[in-house]
Amino acid sequence: MAVAKLVNVRIIYTRMLFSAKDGEKYLCTVLIEKDSQAYQAFMAALKEAWAVGRQRHGAKAFCENPTLAQVFNRAYIKTDGGLDGKGNPVPEYYAGCIGFTANSRSPVPVIDVTGAPVLEGDSRVYEGVRAHVSVDVSPVCKENNPCIGRYLRAVMVLGDGDRIDTGSGGAVSAQDEFSDLIQHGAGTDAFGEVAPF
């Protein structure tokens, strides 16, 4: 197992960090710019995990001197200009990045830059927010299917970065979408009239 501390990356599918349906995992997708420190840290963790996988599961599962494409395939990593696992083009918001989904079977600790817990519904958590993400990168071989797992350890939300429309409906909060229409006067009804007490 290698631990990768990915500094200043972007995360999407953030709602799944806080809630998972029965039998599902807590997760988010991590986008790492290819020219970043985080990319170097992640590649080092992948290299270490590949070497451990070779020792544990043999050369048939984890060959010597793999190509980058082989490593990315075994770690389920998407990259700009490529195709996803279903053969569809990787979304445009991957431009200049690699991305992968990291998950956890138990709730993921999420904090802000002061170390305070960040709870579900916090407006600082949105699709595309910048964050520091700690991930275990480990070789796995289940049912003759060798791969490299990516397991969430913790997330620190930085609260910066442009929103990304993933098409999942979570790109904009209702407060942001209707900010110009929200009525801020206490005691008013839906028509802006003073409500009787």
- Profile the chain (197 residues) by mean pLDDT over runs of 10 residues: 93 90 87 97 96 91 92 92 82 94 95 94 94 96 86 93 77 59 56 47
Span 2-165 CATH architecture: Beta Barrel (2.40)
Q: Where are the alpha helices (DSSP H) in 5-137?
A: 37-57, 68-74
Distance CA 65, CA 168 (A): 38
15 burial via Cβ count (<10 Å: 0-12, 13-18, 19+): middle
Distance CA 156, CA 42 (A): 17
**pLDDT value at position 62?**
92
Query: What residues form DSSP beta bridges with 129?
Result: 11
0.75 exceeded by pTM: yes
Query: What residues form DSSP beta bridges with 136?
Result: 3, 151
Distance CA 48, CA 158 (A): 28
Domain boundaries, given as residue ranges, for the chain: 2-165
Element spanning 119, H or E: none
